[in-house]
Structure 1
Amino acid sequence: MHAIPDDPAGERILWRLDADNPHRPFLFVLTKSKPDWSHLVEQAGWPEADGEHAAVRDYAPLLAQIAAGREFAFRLTANPVQNTSNPIKPSEIQAKQTADGRQRSYRIGHRTAAQQLTWFLTRTERWGFDVPEARTDPPARGLEPEEGPDVPSAREVRITARNRLSFKKRGDDKKPVILHTATFEGRLRITDPVVFTERLLGGIGPAKSYGCGLLTLAPLQAHTLNGHRATGNR
């Protein structure tokens, strides 16, 4: 990450590319050191164009607002996965390892929207927040939803994008890396400020080096997160 002036080996850099508008994507980056984006503007942007090319913001004002019970709008692109020693459709290598008695656990990506949403909702507690029930108007008489322990309540979250990414690591001729990603948007409520802050700064889930795990927040009245071009240093 050439925007970091010092050696970034000791810090985790989180980033996410939001391409809601493919003609005007937004790059969000969270760093510990203050970044310098001038080279990126010169190489890939329009240096002579009017307006702000990159916005750098300090995270301190946001961190000061973290408190139990506080609610925010959020966006997260994650890599929902499960660990299993018995994959339903094992790869050729996995099948050979099993046949040779080399049983091990494999990390498998969730592929359906239902699996990805369940992965997210069953982990929010360990990330220091929960997702409140959806705010809906009372149903008309006779149209009340079913109730019971097996009927999950609707939550204030939706998947806005799902992608299958396939690429090779630089200088590596092995099989490509394949990621199944999902972008979650909705409303969250902080339950554990300490744990939540750790996840906010440290990221959520695997594949952080590939643009997953950055949780961004916005005031509830401004649910869209595409008003900034880059997050600031923390």
Structure 2
Amino acid sequence: MTAWLTRIAPDLRHPVARRDLRDITAVHRRVMSLVPDDLGEQPRHRAGVLFRLDHTTLGPVLLIQTALPPDPSRLPEGYGTVATRDITPLIKALTTGMTVHYRIAANASKRAWNGDNAGKIVALSGQHAEQWWQRKADASGLDLRHLRAQPQPAARGRATPVRHAITLFEGQAVIADAEQARAALLAGIGRGRSFGCGLLSLAPTR
């Protein structure tokens, strides 16, 4: 079990960075450029790539988690400020009973079984989205103690028609099962993992 976390603050004066941020499929390609090209089928899965675009008061921040050491030198020159660290010790240090802060931008959704949308994947919002996260958190070894849910801009693709509704869930939880929590951290949660959904962040409370 190994994991690296790369934080990129794109320089909004850089034309390539601005172009990427307008298209989630371009962000996906940029993220995948940090890992080797010769990974065969399912390269994202083999490289353990998950990412999240956080919207902060100082601008967008791209968080990228990989199971392989990333190569930031493959980014265009001047793309943005980049920092990478090995988070394997932090993941291994998680223990059952530990209280943590959590944050995840997820595609809360389900398959409709009746009505006009029968057979389609439909986005959930409000209380239904919160209930979705409660179920996912339980299955990921987290006992939620506090939950705040905020709708985020949808992940949209221009060159490729992609649209994923995103809800940001954050709050506090107690780790009920450390092994399940570690597995969720490494694998991601829910749909849309290729397009900025599903990266779970956990930090012990102080």
Q: TM-score, structure 2 length as denominator?
A: 0.74
Q: CA offset at residue 200 of structure 1? A: 0.5
Per-residue CA deviations over 1:62-85 (Å, capped at 9, x if unaligned) read 122111111111110000011222
In 1: Cα distance, 2:176 partner to 2:93 partner = 13
Give the structure with the higher percent helix: 2
Aligned mate of 1:39, from 39, 54, 74: 74
Give the fraction of aligned pairs with identical amino acids, expressed as a percent. 31
In 1: Cα distance, 2:76 partner to 2:93 partner = 32
Match of 1:107 in 2: 121
Aligned mate of 1:18, from 54, 60, 66: 54
Confirm whether residue 182 of structure 1 aligns to residue 167 of structure 2. Answer: yes
Aligned mate of 2:157, from 159, 167, 171: 167
Q: 1:43 to 1:180 in 2, by over 3 A?
A: same
Aligned mate of 1:83, from 105, 111, 118: 111
Q: 1:83 to 1:161 in 2, by over 3 A?
A: closer
- Is the contact made by 2:155 and 2:195 (CA closer than 8 Å) also made in structure 1? no
Structural mapping, 1:56-71, within 5 Å: 56-71=84-99
Letter in 1 for 2:196: G
Q: TM-score, structure 1 length as denominator?
A: 0.66
Aligned mate of 2:132, from 119, 133, 147: 119
Match of 2:195 in 1: 210
Q: CA offset at residue 6 of structure 1? A: 5.0
Per-residue CA deviations over 1:150-199 (Å, capped at 9, x if unaligned) read xxxxxx110134333443454xxxxx332211001101111111111111
SS at match of 1:123: helix
Confirm whether residue 194 of structure 1 aligns to residue 179 of structure 2. Answer: yes
Aligned length: 170
Q: 1:159 to 1:40 in 2, by over 3 A?
A: same
SS at match of 1:86: coil
Structure 1: give runs of 5+ residues left out of the alignment: 46-52, 95-104, 133-155, 171-175, 222-234
4+ runs deviating over 4 angstroms: none
SS at match of 2:127: helix
**Bigger radius of gyration among the two:** 1
Per-residue CA deviations over 1:116-170 (Å, capped at 9, x if unaligned) read 11111122211111102xxxxxxxxxxxxxxxxxxxxxxx110134333443454
Q: 1:55 to 1:129 in 2, by over 3 A?
A: same
In 2: Cα distance, 1:31 partner to 1:166 partner = 23
In 2: Cα distance, 1:86 partner to 1:11 partner = 37
Give RMSD over aligned pairs. 2.0
Q: CA offset at residue 43 of structure 1? A: 4.8
Letter in 1 for 2:70: P
In 1: Cα distance, 2:65 partner to 2:176 partner = 23
Q: 1:58 to 1:122 in 2, by over 3 A?
A: same
Letter in 2 for 1:187: Q
Q: 1:161 to 1:38 in 2, by over 3 A?
A: farther
In 2: Cα distance, 1:157 partner to 1:40 partner = 36
Q: CA offset at residue 18 of structure 1? A: 0.6
Give the structure with the higher percent strand: 2
- Is the contact made by 2:98 and 2:204 (CA closer than 8 Å) also made in structure 1? no
Structure 2: give runs of 5+ residues left out of the alignment: 1-31
Per-residue CA deviations over 1:203-223 (Å, capped at 9, x if unaligned) read 0101000000000122324xx
